[in-house]
Every structure is written in structure tokens, then in C-alpha cells.
């Protein structure tokens, strides 16, 4: 006949059971978060001015992984032996995409301008695709501040792509380094990316640093801003939120202007 447990023994057993249950719940939560990040959405921060005024320094966005399918670049570990894309869908012209340039290790966020087989050229700040000038309407003059705190006067334009996608771009001038280029011919299976802040964006116009982006290197399609704060202030510094959080930008589509 077994000896009845004392109150102390019962408490110890109960405590061990509660600890085990807590550990199981934490492991399950981590697995759910990993699956969500791998297959559904991944958060990214915007540290530079290259996509202003659409994406500001200090914006935090969610990129959908499923939009373009999955590759080793869209998975948490690029060492995964996966070649090409699974369930791949090509981006549309005008999509804002998170990608990994070759051979860099940093993630970039830019807009898809050129599709495979397109020719792309800049002439006096005007974008040409397949020999046709893209509609560009002057909105007005403003000022833009970059990640170094440098403020410059800019011109804002509304640019409309051939498929009807329309968005605002910024130009410091129409004679900057990449405002006049030769023709770029986008290779098969590659895409041509550009920033909306044309004179402050390192993008596919620089063939040696970004260049044409392979379909495999796309990580996801930018969808929503879920947080935004001035000057890249770390979000965990909650005591700095008053006066710095951009509440009007939270939970908004990156395509709504």
C-alpha cells in the first residue's frame, strides 16, 4: 500500500507540472512564430531615405513571403539547400520588394521598375521603359532629410507606370549621377529595382553594387507599415515614444498615398 503524499510533495509535483506546461507552451509559441515568419510575413525596418516619401526612415513593414513563393533567400537560413523558387509568382511592375542583391548580405527594399527583357534608361531624370518615357507630373517642391540628418530641397513628382501603378518620387535635381544613363537590358529571370528617392537610392542603376536582381533573391512583397518612429529610434525605448511615434503611419498599406 503506497504512502499518501504530503502537502509539500504535492506542491513540488504540482510545481514541476506547471513548469513543464509553461515550457511546452513557450516552445509551441516559438514554433508558431517561426512558421509565421517563414511562410507568411516577416518584419523589416527602413534605415535609409531611399524610398522616401513612401517609406520613411524608422518605418517598420511586413513583407508577405507567399506573394512570390519561397527560395533560400526568403527562408530564415540561406544555407538551406533550395535552388530556384517553390510556388513562385513573378512580381508586377510597381511592386515594392524586399530582396538580397548579389553578392551582398544586406536586405534592400526597392520598387520593381523593369521586368525580364525590358530596356530601362534615365534621361534628364525621366524614366524610359522600352523606349517610352514614363508619365511624370510635377507635384511641387519640398524638403527631404536623410539618415545623416542632411536636409535638401527636392522636387516631388507623380510617376505612373505603363500598368497604371502610380506613386510619388523625389528628385534633388535632374542631373545627378544616375539621372542620365545608358540603356539597361534586363536579363531573363531578373528584375530592375529603383528607389522612389531617385538621387538618394543605391539600386539597379549601379550594376557593380546592386544590378539586376535574380528572381531567386526576392524575399517578399512589402505590404503594410505596422510601426513608425522618428530618426530610427529603437522601438523598445518606449519613454521616447511621445512626440516621436508617427501614429498616423501605423497599420497602413505601403501602397496607399
Active site residues: 50, 110
| Pairing state between β 126-129 and 119-123 | antiparallel
- Structure-block grid coordinates of residue 221: 512583397
Cβ neighbours around 125 below 10 Å, total: 20
Burial class (CB in 10 A: 0-12, 13-18, 19+), 82: middle
User: How far is residue 42's CA from residue 220's CA, in Å, rounded to a whole number?
Assistant: 8
What dihedral angle (degrees, nearest 10) is formed by the CA atoms of 238, 240, 242, 247?
-70
| Cβ–Cβ under 8 Å, residues 179 and 157 | no
Phi, psi of 174, deg, nearest 5: -105, 15
Half-sphere exposure of 219 (CA within 13 A, CB side): 27
| Cβ–Cβ under 8 Å, residues 128 and 182 | no
Peptide bond into 103 cis (omega under 30): yes
User: How far is residue 33's CA from residue 188's CA, in Å, rounded to a whole number?
Assistant: 35
| Cβ–Cβ under 8 Å, residues 79 and 92 | no
By three-state DSSP, how is residue 234 classified?
coil
Amino acid at each position: 500500500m503506497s504512502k499518501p503524499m504530503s502537502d509539500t510533495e504535492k506542491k513540488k509535483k504540482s510545481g514541476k507540472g506547471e513548469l513543464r506546461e509553461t515550457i511546452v507552451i513557450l516552445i509551441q509559441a516559438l514554433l508558431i512564430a517561426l512558421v509565421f515568419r517563414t511562410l507568411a510575413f516577416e518584419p523589416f525596418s527602413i534605415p535609409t531615405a531611399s524610398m522616401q516619401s513612401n517609406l520613411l526612415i524608422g518605418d517598420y513593414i511586413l513583407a508577405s513571403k507567399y506573394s512570390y513563393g519561397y527560395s533560400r533567400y526568403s527562408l530564415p537560413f540561406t544555407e538551406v539547400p533550395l535552388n530556384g523558387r517553390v510556388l513562385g509568382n513573378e512580381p508586377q511592375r510597381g511592386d515594392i520588394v524586399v530582396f538580397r542583391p548579389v553578392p551582398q548580405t544586406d536586405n534592400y527594399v526597392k520598387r520593381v521598375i523593369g521586368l525580364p527583357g525590358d530596356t530601362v534608361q534615365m534621361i534628364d531624370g525621366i524614366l524610359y521603359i522600352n523606349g517610352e518615357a514614363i508619365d511624370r507630373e510635377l507635384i511641387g517642391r519640398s524638403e527631404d532629410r536623410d539618415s545623416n540628418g542632411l536636409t535638401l530641397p527636392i522636387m516631388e513628382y507623380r510617376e505612373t507606370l505603363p500598368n497604371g501603378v502610380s506613386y510619388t518620387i523625389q528628385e534633388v535635381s535632374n542631373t545627378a549621377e544616375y539621372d542620365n544613363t545608358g540603356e539597361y537590358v534586363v536579363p531573363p529571370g531578373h528584375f530592375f529595382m529603383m528607389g522612389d528617392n531617385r538621387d538618394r537610392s543605391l539600386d539597379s542603376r549601379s550594376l557593380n553594387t546592386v544590378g539586376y536582381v535574380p528572381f531567386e533573391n526576392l524575399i517578399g512583397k512589402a505590404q503594410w507599415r505596422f510601426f513608425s518612429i522618428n530618426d530610427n529610434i529603437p522601438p523598445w525605448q518606449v519613454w521616447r515614444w511621445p512626440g516621436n511615434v508617427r501614429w498616423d503611419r501605423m497599420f497602413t498599406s505601403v501602397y496607399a498615398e
